[in-house]
Amino acid sequence: MNILIINGPNLNLLGKREKSVYGENSFESYLDFLRNRYTGHQLIYFQSNIEGELINTLHQYGFGDVDGIILNAGAYTHTSIAISDAIRAINVPVVEVHISNIHARESYRHISMIASACKGSIIGFGLESYRLAIESFIDSKE
């Protein structure tokens, strides 16, 4: 199974920013853990702070090049109709993930503009949210 993981703005700073919210680990170190755990699957990773690059990557992979997409759109989750439209335009399922529980944070983070376009959402389990999303794709293929 081929799974694309897309991280949006500021997620390149994991392990450096707001450690009380996002933890001590960089995403790259967690990605190594995931790749070692899921050796029978290809995990492709893309990160950008630029909304259009996230959309272009959804378009690039969203027509069968991968079996599933895990998307942490960061703050664009709460603002981007364009990302929601891109998810609706492709035919590969997308699972929305968030490291923190967005519903336990500032009120402007409680609304996801992308959730209704996604297969599902995994929120608040730290970096394990990504592992749970991978498991959801694997379980759906069995």
- Mean pLDDT value across residues 36-60: 98
| Residue-level pLDDT at 70 | 98
Q: How far is Cα 23 from Cα 27, in angstroms, rounded to an integer? A: 10
CATH numeric code, 2-141: 3.40.50.9100
- What's the pLDDT tens digit per position in 15-44? 775 556 655 788 899 999 999 999 999 999
**Nearest C-alpha neighbor of 69 from the set 18, 123, 134:** 134
Q: 71 pLDDT exceeds 70?
A: yes
Catalytic status, residue 130: no
Q: How far is Cα 126 from Cα 99, in angstroms, rounded to an integer? A: 4
Tokens of 74: 């960061």
User: What is the edge-to-edge ordering of all strands in the sheet holding 120-123?
Assistant: 42-47, 2-7, 68-72, 94-98, 120-123
| Residue-level pLDDT at 136 | 97
- What's the pLDDT tens digit per position in 84-138? 999 999 999 999 999 988 887 778 778 899 999 999 999 999 999 999 999 999 9
Catalytic status, residue 22: yes
| Residue-level pLDDT at 72 | 98
| Residue-level pLDDT at 17 | 58
From the candidates 30, 61, 98, 130, give the one annotated as an active-site residue: 98
Domain boundaries, the chain: 2-141
Question: Which H or E run contains 28?
Answer: helix 27-37
Are the C-beta atoms of residues 3 and 44 closer than 8 Å to each other?
yes
Res. 9 pLDDT band, cuts 50 70 90 = very high
Task: Pick left, alpha or beta for residue 57 (phi over 0 → left; psi -120 to 50 → alpha; otherwise beta).
Answer: alpha
